[in-house]
Structure 1
Amino acid sequence: MTSNEPGWTGLDEADVDVEVDFDEGEFDESDFEEAEAAEGDIEDVDEGPVPVVAVVGRPNVGKSTLVNRIIGRRQAVVEDVPGVTRDRVAYDALWSGRRFTIVDTGGWEPDARDRAKAIAAQAEAAVQTSDVVLFVVDATVGPTDDDEAAVRMLRRGGKPVVLVANKVDNARLEAEATLLWSLGLGEPHPVSALHGRGSGDLLDAVLDAIPEHPTGMVRPRGPRRVALVGRPNVGKSSLLNRLAREERAVVDSVAGTTVDPVDSLVSIGGEIWNLVDTAGLRKRVGFASGTEYYASLRTSAAIEAAEVAVVLLDAHEPISEQDQRIITMVAEAGRALIIAFNKWDLVDEDRRYQLGREVERELRRVPWALRLNISAKTGRAVDKLAPALRTALDNWSRRISTGRLNQFLTALVQATPHPVRGGKSPRILFATQAGTSPPRFVLFTTGALDPGYVRFVERRLREEFDFAGTPIHVSVRPRKKQNHGRGRG
């Protein structure tokens, strides 16, 4: 009999007690009040149309820096090279008590090809779905042929346009901004997105340009947040586009196309979900640099903000150490978990056998995760994602009544009591569920329990109450010792 896999022998049933059995002073009353308290308040969400402001312009004119300035935090990925932003990325913003959505876009270029063409198409789509457009121009360069081509594209869109003369870091450069009158979009608003100069006046102009009846996106009432995570080039953006039935995210065979987390409201299985396409994680955050470092931080934050994560693995490649690291990141964040083996259309019989062995060996730490075999390219089994999401989230928020939980534990411990250690055996006095999302259980005991026995209790909790798709936490709280003054012999 080992401590890791105890044989659970050596105690009579009379020695086991899981009834509510505590004397005065053994536990603080606050222990039970805390365990029984409901956690979290449901925040009211405003309904109705929310104005949408699209930020467009040539590459590297400071669009993402301006977005960060407007939302008041470093959310959009910024680096001093063109082409860092590639998708439409929406953020909530607030100015003078007015809420609106700001949409960052990739650099727009005329006659773009390949991936640049897809990025430009995303920018044009942002213009079409917006209420106001912020057209950003580098005032230190002045109007260019590409800027004039962008103006023609904006005029076709028919949306109000606010002209932003960016990189005006001092009063001397304001004279340079006057050259932008030649674009025919009215008064240029000189700002420094980096330093914040002129940003307040710009936001006042944005609010003035918003139509009385905005036609932008409608703020939903609490769609469940789903993070799509995985290594680069496993098909996260392809899956998002398949589910959305349109090109929401730029897809390219080159790994690392997605940099910012891309939020999209998508209808799956008759329900609206908020899917977040994230940057591929190729290494630990501490070993990443530049754009990859900040993208890794955004992905980690997206996991924390999500309720459930869909970790995509490339089914026709071996499960890698990085795959396991990402899965562990999700589990440690306490999020519901679905593992989707993508590119199943490329898997032959030999690979299926090898994959089965890999799952048993490499994923044994998360046997509770739901697993799907899908193909984002062909659409195979993607319709099974919605039921899996609902199952994982239902279990993630499941609460077991205290009475039912203690009845279960009474039968469990009577059948398989804790082993004797040094002539003694700790008793479980009481148990309660301290919280949900994920489920957390507290065992009040007379002493510390073997880690193996705690794992045994967790495994049986899963079998009894079906917690597939969600991590659960079981903690032990030994009662306080009363005779603190007794000397040690």
Structure 2
Amino acid sequence: MKTIGIIGRPNVGKSTLFNRLAGRRIAIVDDMPGVTRDRIEFTVEWMGRHFRLVDTAGFDLKEEIVKKEMQRQFRNSLEEADLLILMVDARDGLHPLDEIVCDMLREEGKNFFVVANKVDSDSLENAAYEFFSLGVEHVYNISATHGRNIDQLLDVIIEYLPEDDGVEPDYKDRIKILVTGRPNVGKSSMVNCWLGEERVIVTNIPGTTRDAIDTVFDYEGGRYVLIDTAGIRRKSVMFKDKIEKYGYFRWEDAVERSDIAVCIMDAVEGITERDVKVIADAWEAGRPVVLVLNKWDAVQNRDEAAKKIRSDLDFKLQFLSDSPVIYASAVSGKNSFKIFEAVQGLYADYTKRIKTSELNELLQEAQERHQPPVIRNRRLKFFYMTQVASAPPQFVIFVNYPEAVHFSYQRFIINLIKERYGFKGIPIRLYLRKRGDKKED
């Protein structure tokens, strides 16, 4: 499958075009330059053809550490792309950075064409003529915000693609792994360790990652989508910054479309209140959690540290159900790939289905072991149980008085399900529904 990259200087509308072509809001969009930092990818389908679309950081010449990392990602994108869209701003006119990027593409021998954005009306069509001074044959006028001429742009892209451009990779048969945690615990470093390349920007500055970044990854027969997310701080802090607020909403979306959450924590600092909150949010959303203590190679007195961490896990994360714990290092790579063994095990139970006949046998056993109480001179009656969904597993029990079933009895049944069928480390949902007893009614 061919890769199409969108490049240009900051704030010309690259992410807006990316979202428009993708048909959904994936990249964070704001008027502030430099919002996009990492490469963001999405598979686009048009007229039965598929291509991989890549949004990149804007090219500029500033020297800050994050800017330097962004430009390194920009150059990596140039190398990987088969075709590049050089995006310019029709309202601002020709900019020196536009000329620099254009010259760079020619030196690299890359195939590209120029797209003038922000041509929102017919009166602005002539504004794009000055971009022909870049020495290109065509300049395509669009408005990414309003969708103007987007269909024509897609037709142009398809013309550049060969007939055998491949088929869209099916995300449905891949395990979607949410890589989450508070800022500066090594989430992006861990993703780069798995990929064997510096795919996402890593600095010691909190908040470097802003978008939720999807990367397709295969390992030892396993097929995954890695979703690197922004570090999660308290809402009261994140919502003071508009971009961080967008990052939080992207994180919520990423949780919803993930299968397994890998929560990265700093082994040197230990388990903090913020770690617990991030883990609890993923668990409450119905996602199994792999607990990863990163930077284990930097820990002193590891035996004592492991005891302290285990004690904290038992005390602070009592709501979890035997989630796997891995002590790893993204820097050295130690135990980093054991995470995928844990993910595979969780996913097998996460998607498991139990026959209704077996569940009803289990329900009968539960009542024999602990008889339901009498409510209002009538005994609770459990009629039958069935599994209505997986990922996460969801069970429904039909009973004559659902509101009278104490949570402790519900927990007893959930524990019995786990005792019989596993579901270790899996959040199970149990619902009670009313069904009347015709003889008594």
- Shared fold (TM-score, shorter chain, > 0.5): yes
Are 1:471 and 2:422 counterparts? no
Q: Tell whether the 8 Å contact from 1:368 to 1:467 is kept in structure 2 after alignment.
A: no
Are the structure 2 counterparts of residues 345 and 398 from structure 1 closer, same or farther at C-alpha, using a change threshold of 3 Å? Answer: same
Q: Pick the aligned partner of 1:143 from 78, 94, 100.
A: 94
Instruction: Determine the structure 2 residue equivalent to 1:121.
Output: 72
Unaligned runs of 5+ in 2: none
Q: Pick the aligned partner of 1:219 from 152, 159, 169.
A: 169
Q: Pick the aligned partner of 1:388 from 342, 356, 373.
A: 342
Q: Pick the aligned partner of 2:330 from 362, 376, 394.
A: 376
Instruction: Determine the structure 1 residue equivalent to 2:406.
Output: 450
Shift of 1:109: 3.0
Cα displacement string for residues 50-72 of structure 1 (whole angstroms, at most 9, x for unaligned residues): x3211011112211111122223
Instruction: Determine the structure 2 residue equivalent to 1:154.
Output: 105
Structure with the greater alpha carbon radius of gyration = 1
Residues 301-320 of structure 1: pairs in structure 2 closer than 5 A? 301-320=253-272
Provide the rounded CA distance (Å) in 2 between the counterparts of 1:74 and 1:324.
29
Q: Tell whether the 8 Å contact from 2:321 to 2:427 is kept in structure 1 after alignment.
A: no
Residues 4-15 of structure 1: pairs in structure 2 closer than 5 A? none
The one of the two structures with greater contact order (alpha-carbon pairs below 8 A, sep at least 6) is: 1
Measured on the aligned residues, the alpha-carbon RMSD in Å equals 2.5
Provide the rounded CA distance (Å) in 2 between the counterparts of 1:446 and 1:199.
58
Could you tell me which amino acid in structure 2 is paired with residue 171 of structure 1? D
SS of corresponding position for 2:227: strand
Shift of 1:161: 0.8
Calculate percent identity across the aligned residue pairs: 34
Number of aligned residues:
435
Residues 280-291 of structure 1: pairs in structure 2 closer than 5 A? 280-284=231-235, 288=239, 289-291=241-243
Q: Pick the aligned partner of 2:293 from 333, 341, 362.
A: 341
Are the structure 2 counterparts of residues 172 and 478 from structure 1 closer, same or farther at C-alpha, using a change threshold of 3 Å? Answer: closer
Could you tell me which amino acid in structure 1 is paired with residue 426 of structure 2? T
Instruction: Determine the structure 1 residue equivalent to 2:251.
Output: 299
Cα displacement string for residues 76-106 of structure 1 (whole angstroms, at most 9, x for unaligned residues): 1011111111111112323344333221111
Instruction: Determine the structure 2 residue equivalent to 1:58.
Output: 9
Q: Pick the aligned partner of 1:69 from 5, 16, 20.
A: 20
Residues 9-48 of structure 1: pairs in structure 2 closer than 5 A? none
Q: Tell whether the 8 Å contact from 1:338 to 1:389 is kept in structure 2 after alignment.
A: yes
Moved more, 216-225 or 437-446: 216-225
SS of corresponding position for 2:184: coil
Q: Tell whether the 8 Å contact from 2:175 to 2:224 is kept in structure 1 after alignment.
A: yes
Are the structure 2 counterparts of residues 373 and 125 from structure 1 closer, same or farther at C-alpha, using a change threshold of 3 Å? Answer: same
Provide the rounded CA distance (Å) in 2 between the counterparts of 1:463 and 1:373.
27
Residues 165-180 of structure 1: pairs in structure 2 closer than 5 A? 165-180=116-131
Are the structure 2 counterparts of residues 344 and 423 from structure 1 closer, same or farther at C-alpha, using a change threshold of 3 Å? Answer: farther
Could you tell me which amino acid in structure 1 is paired with residue 169 of structure 2? R
Shift of 1:158: 3.0
Provide the rounded CA distance (Å) in 2 between the counterparts of 1:218 and 1:124.
25
Shift of 1:482: 4.8
Instruction: Determine the structure 1 residue equivalent to 2:311.
Output: 357
Provide the rounded CA distance (Å) in 2 between the counterparts of 1:404 and 1:169.
62
SS of corresponding position for 2:358: helix
Could you tell me which amino acid in structure 2 is paired with residue 60 of structure 1? N
Provide the rounded CA distance (Å) in 2 between the counterparts of 1:423 and 1:348.
62
Moved more, 95-104 or 385-394: 95-104
SS of corresponding position for 2:88: strand
Cα displacement string for residues 317-347 of structure 1 (whole angstroms, at most 9, x for unaligned residues): 2433332232222222222321212222233
Provide the rounded CA distance (Å) in 2 between the counterparts of 1:399 and 1:201.
47
Provide the rounded CA distance (Å) in 2 between the counterparts of 1:450 and 1:333.
23
Provide the rounded CA distance (Å) in 2 between the counterparts of 1:464 and 1:258.
42
Q: Tell whether the 8 Å contact from 1:368 to 1:471 is kept in structure 2 after alignment.
A: no
Shift of 1:227: 1.1
SS of corresponding position for 2:194: helix
Unaligned runs of 5+ in 1: 1-48
Instruction: Determine the structure 2 residue equivalent to 1:7.
Output: none
Instruction: Determine the structure 2 residue equivalent to 1:109.
Output: 60
